[in-house]
Amino acid sequence: MQSNLSAFAPDQALVRPLVETNRRFWILVAVLCSLIAVGAACYLLQLRNGLQVTGMNVPVYWGVYITNFVFFIGISHAGTLISAILRICKAEWRRSITRAAEVITVMVLFFGAGSIILDLGRPDRALNVILHSNFESPLLWDVTSITVYLTGSLIYLYLPLIPDIAALRDGLGKRRWFYRALALGWTGSERQHRLLDRAISIMAIIILPIAVSVHTVVSWVFAMTVQPMWHSAIFGPYFVVGAIFSGIGALIVFMAIIRWAYGLEGYFKEVQFRNLGLLLLTMSMLWFYFTLSEFITTYYGAEPDHMVIFWAKISGPYAPMFWTMVVGCFVIPMILLTSRRFPVVASTVVAGVTVNIGMWIERYTIVVPSLARPRLPLETGVYLPSFVEVAMTVAFFAGFFLLYLLFTRLFPIVAIWEIREGREGSVREVSERVASYLPEVSDAHDAF
């Protein structure tokens, strides 16, 4: 049945995914669901047999699960933070990408927090963090910060959705009860718009320090211990930079997929990719600066316990991973994003992918080597993720993609009203704003 989408003209393309599904969609859902099913089976196995089904051992007590935790929380900085910064800066090119970014944040946070539950020896006692909270523990700072961040990001995603939900309620003719409940009686009056703008601005400002705090306390889980190459004052900002870095990379990749799958070339244009690519390049250089600072201070301090881990990363068993990380996070972005020779979309997407591979490896080479080389002369730790850990990781990624996919089928992934607002108001507003930056043209010079 061909729905009548004329109510959404000229942005019908944004609503089409809500009413039309094709075979490709169902195949993708089936694939993702089966990957999740494998993960679920593995989790049952882990619940039944304990963490012996993983590859973790003495003394490598943390592995892929904790790596994933840091990675997913890092990705979550894609959305809210980038979207909030662009909104506050009144960057007009943001209009079509903010929602795609905000959805990443909310969806991936579930899997970041889930990774911690997955890693617990006794998930049945997870509530003890509330019943017997020890606020001295950085892990509890994480619980607090991530809860606040998830709540804030949900509100920040929901607020700009309201006008679009109301439009769907009035014009889509499907799932009316669902949209009516979520639209909260939005009529689009002048007063409602004023209130909404105000609320979005306030949330955009509130969410910034929260987002910074989240990855800072994630890094403090490591930095607050005395373990070599974890106990580092630079870790807070280093992790925040890494998080924004991988977040931008993820956003670029998601934009490219949406653009290709739903034919939204008109909304995700080259300019968005180019600008995000420049942001990615900036973060790549910042990341390199932080990595260099971290390693060169370790090297010159030359404390033996630190140097054992330093060399394990630089030239030891973790060297292949370490240098892959440097290539993925720095070399490739530097080559692809500083030259105009490469096609914009393709090169930013490739850089976004290599950055995320590199950043996953970065987290792995932070977590594992420090544990595998304890200070006391125990035998050297050997760690290889088991099938269960790999399957759970795949299932978490699949779950994240599935939630994202379902969102794009229930709500427009580009904010229709913000695009419309841009068309109707911003062009004039921006030219007035630019004029206001310039000196007034007075008649005084006529006197000469």
Partner 1 sequence: MARWGMAIDLDTCTGCQACTIACAIENNVPPPDPDGSDDHRPFTWMRLLPWIGEESPQAEGRMFPRPCMHCDDPPCTKVCPVDATNIDGEGLVRQVYPRCIGCRYCTTACPYTVRYFNWKTPSWPEPLEQSLNPDVSVRPAGVVEKCTFCHHRLQLARDTAAVERRELRDGEYVPACVEVCPSQAMFFGDLDDPDSEVARRSHTTRAFRLLEELGTKPKVIYLRKGE
Q: Which spans of this chain sit near partner 1 (rule: CB under 8 A)?
A: 49-52, 56-59, 61-62, 116, 119-123, 125-126, 128-129, 131-134, 136-140, 143, 221, 224-227, 371, 374-378, 381-382
d(CA 292, CA 413): 38
Please check whether residue 189 is in contact with residue 168, taking contact to mean a CB–CB distance below 8 angstroms: no
Q: Which is nearer to partner 1, 31 or 382 (CB)?
A: 382
CB of 82 to partner 1, least distance (A): 30
* Residue 179 vs 222, nearer CB to partner 1: 222
Q: How far is the CB of 60 from partner 1 (least distance, A)?
A: 8
Name the nearest CA neighbour of 65 among 82, 84, 51: 51
CA dist 178 and 164 (Å) reads 13
Q: Which is nearer to partner 1, 185 or 304 (CB)?
A: 304
Residue with smaller CB distance to partner 1, 138 or 237: 138
CB 195 within 8 A of CB 188: no
- For residue 221, the minimal CB distance to partner 1 (Å) is 7
CB of 431 within 8 A of CB of 116?
no
CB atoms near residue 212 (< 10 Å): 18
For 379, which DSSP code? P
Q: Which is nearer to partner 1, 11 or 142 (CB)?
A: 142
The pair of three-digit structure tokens given for residue 387, joined into one six-digit string: 């099938």
- Contact by Cβ (8 Å): 61, 413: no
Closest CA to 219 of 195, 238, 198, 191: 238
- The rounded distance, in Å, linking the Cα atoms of 191 and 174 is 28
In whole angstroms, the minimum distance from the beta carbon of 220 to partner 1 comes to 10
**Closest separation between CB of residue 131 and partner 1, Å?**
8
**What phi and psi values does residue 131 have, to the nearest 5 degrees?**
-70, -35
Residue 226 carries which DSSP code? -
Angle at 259 (CA atoms; ends 69, 339), nearest 5 degrees: 80
The residue among 77 and 215 lying less far from partner 1, judged by its C-beta, is: 215
CB of 66 to partner 1, least distance (A): 9
Closest separation between CB of residue 70 and partner 1, Å? 14
Which one, 204 or 372, has the nearer CB to partner 1? 372
> How near is the Cβ of 215 to partner 1 at its closest, in Å?
18
Q: Which is nearer to partner 1, 128 or 297 (CB)?
A: 128
Q: HSE of 70 in the Cβ direction (CA atoms, 13 Å)?
A: 30
